Amino acid sequence: MSLFGHSGFIGNDRELLRLAARISELNHLLDAVRSHVPPELASSCVSVAWGPSETLLIGVRSSAAAARLRVAAPQLRDALGAAGWHASAIRPRVQVALQQEKSRINKDLRLSDSACSAFEQLAESLEAGPLRDAVATLVAHQHQRKAR
């Protein structure tokens, strides 16, 4: 939806229009940041804001991402400047609420029938040993899950 596509919600309220425009601007800036950093770092960039003295604050998911962003900051600042975003400095900020969320491991992963068949064929083609045993155990485990 575009900024003006929210007219049913926002109407002519100047405050809401200004807020929607600001959100749109920050989303464009976040997209620009993500496009000028490596893809593995881009997915860790979750928010942007302007701080004092034209400092660009970039919210990241982890301290590792913050460290990588600090290293990439001079090149990112130059790239953003060329794109029309002028930041005097770039400061990563770890989003603590995101750090506290533990990733959940899905213990109920199931392989498709074709994947099970491929693993069965692989097990049959392997020489006797630990790898063959591990693949056979995987296939047996998947068959047990499907029987439940």
Please give the domain boundaries of the chain with CATH numbers for all domains: 3-100 (3.30.300), 113-147 (no CATH)
Q: Per-residue pLDDT tens for 8-44?
A: 566 677 888 888 889 999 999 999 999 999 998 999 9
CB-CB contact of 114 with 82 (8 Å): no
pTM of the model: 0.59
First to last CA, the chain: 44
Whole-angstrom distance, CA of residue 71 vs CA of residue 146 = 48
Taking 3-state DSSP, the helix, strand and coil percentages for the chain, each rounded to the nearest 5, stand at 65, 10, 25
Q: Is 14 left (phi over 0), alpha (psi -120 to 50) or beta?
A: alpha
